[in-house]
Amino acid sequence: MDPKRWSKPVTFEEDTRGGYRTITSTGEAARVLLTKWPIAKGRQYRRARQVCLDVLEGKKPPSEARRAFLDAAREADVFVRDQ
């Protein structure tokens, strides 16, 4: 099993038309934050990007990336289903 994989997935609303996407790993979260995030600013957004990079480099556990992703979603007012 990939050590950067999350123990529980996170489903979020990807766009304003009601499209949803489920994230299961730090790598997926980093891609979303870098390419598809609705607001490319904010303290939690910047923190989530950095934490994802730290996890991918083996400096932090995947649970921190998941938590940071959820914080960034709250900051951006993105609907999230935390499973």
User: Is there a contact between 48 and 71 (Cβ–Cβ < 8 Å)?
Assistant: yes
Q: Does 9 map to a domain?
A: no
Mean pLDDT for the stretch of residues 61-78: 96
Query: pLDDT: is 45 or 79 the higher one?
Result: 45
Q: For residue range 1-23, what is the model confidence (pLDDT) as tens digits?
A: 476 999 999 999 887 677 899 99
CA distances 26 to 9, 17, 19, 81, Å, are: 10, 25, 21, 17
Q: Does 31 map to a domain?
A: no
Q: Does 46 map to a domain?
A: yes
Q: For residue range 29-57, what is the model confidence (pLDDT) as tens digits?
A: 999 999 989 888 999 999 999 999 999 99
Give me the domain span that covers residue 47.
Answer: 36-78
User: Is there a contact between 11 and 81 (Cβ–Cβ < 8 Å)?
Assistant: yes
Q: What is the pTM of this model?
A: 0.91
Q: How many CB atoms lie within 10 A of CB 79?
A: 11
Q: Does 49 map to a domain?
A: yes
Confidence class for position 60, pLDDT limits 50, 70, 90: very high
Number of domains in the chain: 1
CA pair distance 32, 57, nearest whole angstrom:
18
Q: Does 62 map to a domain?
A: yes
Q: Does 44 map to a domain?
A: yes
